[in-house]
Structure 1
Amino acid sequence: MYSVLLNPSNTEIYSFLTERIYRELVVIFATCKVNYKGRAESVASESPRLIILKPDGTVIIHESVKREPLNWQPPGTKIEIMNDYPLKIVAQRKRPKEVIEIDLKEVFYITSAEVKDGDFVIKGREIDIVNTIIQNPSMIEEGFVPLTREYNTPYGKIDLVGLDKKGNFVIIEVKRSKAQLSAVSQLYRYYLHIRETKEEKVRGILVAPDLTTHARELLQKLGLEFIRYDIQKYSGY
């Protein structure tokens, strides 16, 4: 359920906020002045802003630009509604001691809703990329056959092991972000270990969205390979 107040009076604002803070997610669009006192001091002059009050005490004040808020207070903040003129929201944090005072000059609307926490699933983890390769082996190359994931070695677990169309042993190291020198070094350790234990020819492939210049140079020097993983292309799998 949700509630909405349009162009409310001070009496309506005070009643609405005191009934709902700490219980519901409250969003206010208002012309306001913002004062901050704490490790520093700041004053934001009157301007239309979006104010968010969360049930856990989080306070966020947004302007029309940038992702980052103008001011904010973390969970656990004490929020008080002062029935002054203009009506004031005081958000106080004890450690470190910080206070944000929001003077509400003109409120255009207030909404509130009972927002529940849902399941949160992160996609694009390295294990998800390995799953994508298993489901789409041709993204490595035509004829590639996945055999084993999490292959144990004395140096750690190889993300994926398989065979190419010529029967060569292929070891794959996966990174979900830009690969660094450390990723190349890790792959090379796996490569040397497998080369010593297998009779077949061994190939080492690093799969990542990108890699640094130094990582690319080392990869080429060691005779290893790189395949770019397009997150957007395979995000539907």
Structure 2
Amino acid sequence: MRIVVARCSVDYAGRLSAHLPLAPRVLMLKADGSILVHSDGGSYKPLNWMSPPAVFTASEPDDEQRAAGITEVWTVTHRKTGDSLIVSVHEVLSDASHELGVDPGLVKDGVEAHLQVLLAEQIERLGDGFELWRREYMTPIGPVDILARDAEGATVAVEIKRRGEIDGVEQLTRYLELLNRDPRIAPVTGVFAAQEIKPQARTLAEDRGIRCVVLDYDEMRGIDSGHARLF
């Protein structure tokens, strides 16, 4: 991972357009090709980002850009959509690279682990004709919670969270990118399953073609939660 603190402006060009004016920011470039742009605020959420698979290029500014104080131009282009995140660097304040290696993945709490067991036993909750293939299917970046087959026999990767947030969608996106490189199981679609799914996470998941499923933990355990239900 490369972490750069720089005075920069950032432009996103593609299906959406966005501009971040000149200011000091933290730029995180990851080995998977993604880039995240952070400020000293806003909690953990980046101001803008580009997800993998992506290509990073650094180029010299043209005369007009140089006259505006730009010293280097970074372009991160998504391989599939063609969207680009363009970082106009004016001054680098810090630049450090670290080899982090393969992450062991998030250790799930008791509820998430139990949800995985219950959903594996009740895989039909994902749809008629679904069949469990494997739990904890290992990839180079960690295990996929569940691999299943839908009614047509297509592969489905399921990521399970107690609370579904953007980080979980990003995690499933990375798994899908790797799984779809394997001709033995591709094409692979995704299901993001959680007790609660935040609106931002649902929007991001649906934009990436990932289906969201809300799980009722008590119902899956055969316990009446006492809450009134419409259906």
Normalised TM-score (structure 1): 0.45
Tell me which of the two structures has the higher relative contact order, counting C-alpha pairs closer than 8 angstroms and 6 or more residues apart: 1
Larger radius of gyration: 1
Normalised TM-score (structure 2): 0.47
